[in-house]
Structure formats: structure tokens, C-alpha cells
Amino acid sequence: MRRIVAGTRGSELAQIQTDLVIAELTRVYPDLEVEKRVIKTKGDKILDVPLAKIGDKGLFTKELENALFSGEIDFAVHSLKDLPVELPQGLKTTACIKREKPNDIVVLKHAKRLADLPDNAVIATGSLRRALQLKKIKPQIQIAEIRGNINTRLEKLANANWDGMVLAYCALSRLGKENLITELLPYEVMLPAVAQGIIAVESRDDSKSIELFSRINDKETESCGILERAFLFGLGGGCRVPMACNAYVEGSELHATGLYMPNDGEQYILETISGNMVDAYELGIQLAKQALSKVK
């Protein structure tokens, strides 16, 4: 029996996501034994500062990548949205498993819909992308900054004088907390983060790893992730670039909508693009160029 080691962050959600990858691996390779090893990252330790202010390069990944280089682990499992668009030389994203619904959701205390909230309602989020899109719908809305894992955030919501909170559908779904969702936000209201809902495998860039993980790779999900991350790369960014993107596949066609909100939302630039799945990266770069061409 062959044995490999998976690296994961320590949160409940990170471990559930790692378990999903392990389940895919053992389905394809019934004789494979996978050990799970928890590694704490910088992003897990600094919980009192908004992500956009910390400097996001490798915030949730660096320690896991060091463990890959040292051979302590054979692969790391990430939310693809946490991975920097450029990986260190010698490492590679070798698989993406089938994407969960990428929408954002709201958990509201009293209202049944986001639209029913008073104009000056207080909504918690640690995301500039979400905050700016909320302000587009309700300019007077108040934003409460929040960090921490999902359970911590939900606990804070219960004890704070807030009207609600924005979270990713995939997070609550994977944690088995879908019953807490008040409203699934359509893309016209809240375009999701780049690669939201995609779980990725990062491994050493060698033929053995590439072959092993290729068998659990979902091509459609991978193409969507490549396009969305290329859009982010084309805009030059990470957590501090206020943007959003969502791609989907129909047949062999890839379609995407990108949103860029330069100067903290002074402009709201929405662009679309379509093309062949095999051109995912080029489509993402082109979408970024279209958006940048509209900046005043």
C-alpha cells in the first residue's frame, strides 16, 4: 500500500476540504493511504487585521509550501482563492476538484432578504469586494470589519449589534450549516471572488505528482479557475484589488463576467467574454484588458 501525506490548515473548513480531496484520491486509488497533517499559516495567526491591510502574498499558503519543499508533506489542499496567482518555482496546482456553487450568501438576523434591510443596516464582512458591491445596492449601508474562521464569525454575529453577514455559500454548505442561509445572492447583486468554491491541490512540479493528481482533476473547474485567476493577474492584484469574477462552461465554451472597482469603488466596471475552454488564460487576460481600458 502506498502512503502519502496531505497538508492542511487547521480550521474545520480546511480539514473538511482536505477530506473531500482525500475521498477523491482514495476513490480513484483504492490502495492509497493518505495521512493528514495540520500546518498553521500566518493568515490563521493574525485575526485582528483586515486581509487587505496585511499584505496577502502567501498569507494562507507559505508555511504549507515550505512543508512541500522540505518533503514533510506530498501535497497541500487550498481554497484556490487563497493561492497567489504566481506559485513558487518547483510547485504547481495539479488538480481542482469539481466546483461548489460560487455564490455569496447573507445570514440575516431579522430580515428575509438583503433588499428588506433598512438603508443604514450594519453588515459584517472582511472583504472589500463584498463591501463595495453592498454599497452599490445600498449606499448608506454600514460595514463591520470581521476576520476569523466561519464558526468564529457566526458567533460574533450572534453576539454583535449587526443586522447580518456576507459569507460564501460553499463554506456553509461544506460545514453542513446551509440552514443558516437567509438568501443566496445572485451574480447581478454580488459577483463572487476569483475561484470561490474551488478546492485545489498544490504539489511539487514533478511527473510523479502531476500523474497522480491528474486523475482527480475536473477540467471544467480548472478552466474556470485559470480564467478567473488570469483576470486577477491581468489587473495586477491580490486581496487589495477590488474585483470579482465568475466563469462557467457550456459545452466547450467558457463564459465569464469580470468586475473591477478601481479607486475603492469610484468606478464600477463590468465586462464579459466568451471563448474556447482551451484558451482560458488568454480569455482572462483579455477580460482584464477590457476592464482596464474603461478606467477613467
Asked if 132 contacts 243 with a C-beta cutoff of 8 angstroms, the reply is no
The x, y and z cell numbers of residue 24, run together, are 477523491
What's the gap between Cα 28 and its chain centre?
A: 26
Report the alpha-carbon distance of residue 115 to residue 118 in Å, rounded.
8
What is the block-wise mean pLDDT of the chain (296 residues), using blocks of 10 residues? 91 95 97 94 54 54 92 96 90 97 97 94 95 95 91 94 97 97 97 97 96 97 98 82 94 96 91 97 98 94
Query: Hunting for cell 485575526 — which residue is that?
Result: 47
All domains of the chain in start order, with CATH: 1-97+198-217 (3.40.190.10), 104-184 (3.40.190.10), 219-296 (3.30.160.40)
Q: In this predicted structure, what is the pLDDT of residue 240?
A: 72
What residues act catalytically?
82
Q: In this predicted structure, what is the pLDDT of residue 161?
A: 95
The phi, psi pair for 77, rounded to 5°, reads: -110, 130
Query: Hunting for cell 457566526 — which residue is that?
Result: 154
Asked if 167 contacts 148 with a C-beta cutoff of 8 angstroms, the reply is no
